[in-house]
Amino acid sequence: MSARNRSSRIDRWLLQKIYRAAGRPAIRLKLQNGAEVSPTDALPVASLVIPDRKTLFRLLLDPEAEFGDAYSKGRITLDGDLVSALEIFYRSMPQGEQVSWYVKLASKFVEYVQRNSLHGSRRNIHQHYDLNTDFFRLWLDPQLVYTCAYFPSPDATLEQAQLAKLDYVCRKVQLQPGERVVEAGCGWGALALHMAKNYGVTVRAFNISREQILVARRRAKELGLSHQVEFIEDDYRNISGECDAFISLGMLEHVGREHYRDLGSIMHRSLAKTGRGLLHFIGRNHPRPFSTWTRKRIFQGAYAPALSEAMQVLEPWDLSVLDVENLRPHYAKTLEHWLARFEKSSRQISEMFGPDFVRAWRLYLAGAVAAFHVGTLQLFQLVFARTARRQIPWTRAHLYTKDQNEEQETKWMHATS
């Protein structure tokens, strides 16, 4: 047997091993030099082209991390639709427990390095959210809402759906004029401003992303709402004073498992005797960390909890869960909108941050679309209240009544005009 033949047999053997480890997906795996594996029972939906044996070895060791990095650097390429291919991978890949010792070790290491201390959180948040507001403007809605939208119907626009989400949240916690709201992790301020403007509440909104806080303050000024909304550049652990409602959208993912009790104690300390609140977060069906690639390149220190884990925020403080809604299909749709807009602006983004960045973020957004489609990620909206709260709505019908929607329609008109 020639050296060349032996070499190609090793390549084929490695490819087969990767293919089996991935759960035999309906994807063709191709090595640039020619070796390939194809599904035997179905036509391949896409082809993955891998440059060399070094990459093959790395894929065997930590498939998610290596795939992410090699794809971002343009070394691995995909022939076919990225979202569809990722969905196939997510469906075929063995779940959780079967990951190798190497992946577990790497995962623990990343967790330690990215721990969410006061300082660590600032570093983790800065890395993603302070990128540059102009970048996010290219693919988010004009209000810059960077969390799952709520589509009253699937054909609503992203703008409508984000506005509907903001209002849905307000109605879920039944805000009343004059009440005091704390928002933990306020992004560019859209919810805080919506609450103040449409529900007559006062808001103290916290965020450790400087870039976002500066933009939010500017918008409050423009809207004449600076007297009602205070944007505070500080960590949730430093929240003080009393509030009637405690609301947090898309922050729990950045709190980290080891700090759930801290967050709960802050909520407990802040909430008035009849207080209530809402947590909106990416979650899981069962405990499982994000891939090391996601945590290294996209969301440092992030963790999406299973409900059993999220309960650690509430249970020590005798807070009652009133309502949990899984908005998974809404996040898949939101992300489809984001991904489409991102692609439209990809040239501009490449000029800002380079082509590797574009590919990494394309992979992140497409991967999230796929994960919410397939169900490896969930989106939970959880309403809670102190037991002493008596004004619990008798049913949830008020969230869906016709009048409400018409009124809502009017509000949208007003806000988008």
* Binding-site member from 396, 407, 409, 416 for a copy of itself (CB under 8 A): 396
d(CA 137, CA 203): 24
Amino acid letter, residue 163: L
Among candidate residues 126, 235, 228, the one with its CA nearest the CA of residue 181: 228
139 in contact with a copy of itself (CB under 8 A): no
d(CA 87, CA 63): 16
Q: Cβ–Cβ contacts within 10 Å for residue 140, how many? A: 22
Q: Residues 160 to 199: which contact a copy of itself by CB under 8 A?
A: none
380 in contact with a copy of itself (CB under 8 A): yes
* Binding-site member from 10, 105, 214, 388 for a copy of itself (CB under 8 A): 388
321 in contact with a copy of itself (CB under 8 A): yes
Residue with tokens 């992790």: 185
Closer to a copy of itself at the Cβ: 170 or 358?
Answer: 170
Q: Which stretch binds a copy of itself (CB under 8 A): 113-121, 219-227, 354-362, 384-392?
A: 384-392
273 in contact with a copy of itself (CB under 8 A): no
Chain length of the chain? 417
95 in contact with a copy of itself (CB under 8 A): yes
98 in contact with a copy of itself (CB under 8 A): no
φ, ψ (nearest 5 deg) of residue 267: -60, -45
392 in contact with a copy of itself (CB under 8 A): yes
84 in contact with a copy of itself (CB under 8 A): no
* Cα 355 off chain centre by: 23
CB of 63 to a copy of itself, least distance (A): 20
The single-letter DSSP state of residue 80 is S
Closer to a copy of itself at the Cβ: 204 or 330?
Answer: 330
CB of 156 to a copy of itself, least distance (A): 10
319 in contact with a copy of itself (CB under 8 A): yes
Q: Cβ–Cβ contacts within 10 Å for residue 68, how many? A: 24
Write the CB contacts of 152 (distance below 8 Å, at least 6 apart in sequence): 160, 161, 164, 405
Q: Residue count at the site for a copy of itself (CB under 8 A)?
A: 44
The single-letter DSSP state of residue 94 is P
Amino acid letter, residue 250: G
Q: Residues 276 to 305: which contact a copy of itself by CB under 8 A?
A: 285-287
d(CA 316, CA 318): 6
Task: Give yes or no for a contact between 211 and 129, defined as CB atoms under 8 angstroms apart.
Answer: yes
CB of 95 to a copy of itself, least distance (A): 7
* Binding-site member from 323, 346, 353, 412 for a copy of itself (CB under 8 A): 323
* Binding-site member from 2, 5, 40, 395 for a copy of itself (CB under 8 A): 395
Closer to a copy of itself at the Cβ: 15 or 164?
Answer: 164
Q: Which long-range contacts (CB under 8 A, 24 or more apart) does 39-46 make?
A: 45/80, 45/81, 45/84, 45/85, 45/88, 46/78, 46/79, 46/80, 46/81, 46/84, 46/85, 46/88
407 in contact with a copy of itself (CB under 8 A): no
378 in contact with a copy of itself (CB under 8 A): yes
* Binding-site member from 67, 139, 146, 151 for a copy of itself (CB under 8 A): 151
Write the CB contacts of 411 (distance below 8 Å, at least 6 apart in sequence): 163, 167, 198
> Would the CA dihedral through 206, 210, 211, 214 be positive or negative?
positive
CB of 314 to a copy of itself, least distance (A): 7
402 in contact with a copy of itself (CB under 8 A): yes
Can you give the binding site for a copy of itself, defined by CB under 8 A? 95, 150-154, 285-287, 306-308, 311-312, 314-316, 318-326, 328-329, 374-376, 378, 380, 387-388, 392, 394-397, 399-402
